[in-house]
Structures are given as structure tokens and as C-alpha cells.
Amino acid sequence: MKAAIIVFPGSNRDRDMKMALTKASGGKPPLEVWHGDADFPKVDLIVLPGGFSYGDYLRCGAMAAHSPVMREVKARADKGTRVLAVCNGFQIACEAGLLPGVLMSNAGLQFICREITMRVETSDSIFTGKYRKGQCIRVPVAHHDGNYNADADTVKRLEDEDRVAFRYANLFGDVSPETNLNGSVGNIAGVFNKGKTVLGLMPHPENATDPVCGGTDGVGLFAGLAEALQ
């Protein structure tokens, strides 16, 4: 698997993502592409990492969505190149039109940084194929603007087309207002584009790939990508 991580001013999980991808690829590190570059080598996977691109000024992800490199990212995504967008990357992907919806301020208007449980809603994608539908995994979150929202028609389309990837839940897989840490519509933690070639999610699977860091529930996502894109 040949991957590229897009690095923006303010990215802070790019190194974490690099470690997870390197491990999944058998020691082959991904490319690191600066946001100002208009082109980069052909890859199988593009990653928009977490952080605070452009200091979250104007609106989270809004400025990064117009970085020179994003024109190329969108062009490749349109041709089927897989894109993984995590946390701030999810915000950027939505602002750039790669994914539907928007990420707003958390319902409690506070920054949330802790380990959470999310339920896998579908195993029918290369991102989630190593998990079982209904499986609950533990991964960290770290965001202030993770409240996923979309109009009713868009949410229905996501549900009908099996494009909800993850939901915030408890350890038993129960989804309720109590498990909805940020106010996201339908407890949604991650969504796909129409072809399931782009995945955006707020939690950080890259920070759950080493037992030294507290857990390995994120390994399945990267292992599935490495196997499918080898």
C-alpha cells in the first residue's frame, strides 16, 4: 500500500498517522505532502489527518479545504483513490465537498479528549472489512467541533445507502442520547461518500494501534486498508 498524508499548518496527528500506516504496511512509511504542493506521486490512499489546520480560524477545515493540494485530492478522489479523513481531516473533507454534512461545535461547547466507544455500523467497505457489523471498539477522541450534522434528507440517504460507518455507543453497543458525546445527529461518528471510497470520522483510530498507548482496536482499520490496497 502506497499512502500519502497531507500536512497542513496546524496538523498535529500526522506523525501518529504515519506510525500507524508504517506499521500496517510492513515498515513502508507513507509520503508526507505539504498543503501548498499542487501535485504528488500516485498513491493508493490519501489521508487528511487530525489537528487544527490554520488554527481553526474562520471555521474548522474551511481554509484547509481551499489549499492548493486539495484540488488534486478531490480530483483523485473523483477517480476512486481512497481517502481517509480523521477529526480535523473529517472537517476538511466536509468543507471540501468530499463528504456530506458539516461538523459543528460540540453540544456542550467544550473540548472533549478521552477514550470512547463506537459501534461499527457496516463491514461492507475496505475501511471496516476487518470488523464485524455491530462490533464495539474503543478509540480516543480529541475535538471541540465534532458535532456531525446534515439535513434530514441527507441523513436518510446515508442510512438507506449503508453509508454510516460508526456511531457513538456504550460497551454493549447501545446507542442513546447518553452515549452521544458531542450532539451528532443519530450518534454518527463517521460516514462514507457514495462509493465508500472516502471515509470521514471524528475518533482517532491511529491512536489505538499500539498496546503501549492503551489499546489496539484501531488496528483493524489499517490492516484492512493494507490488505485491500497491497
Active-site positions? 87, 204, 206
Alpha carbons 101 and 186: distance in angstroms, whole number: 13
Measure Cα distances from 52 to 3, 6, 48 in Å: 22, 13, 12
Q: Are 84 and 202 in contact (CB under 8 A)?
A: no
Give first-to-last CA distance, the chain, whole Å: 5
* Whole-number Å distance between alpha carbons of 199 and 148: 14
What's the rounded Cα separation, in Å, for the pair 138 and 158?
Answer: 23
Among 121, 106, 64, residue whose Cα is nearest residue 202: 106
Cα 228 to Cα 230: distance, rounded to the nearest angstrom: 6
Q: Let me know: does 89 contact 48? Beta carbons within 8 Å.
A: yes
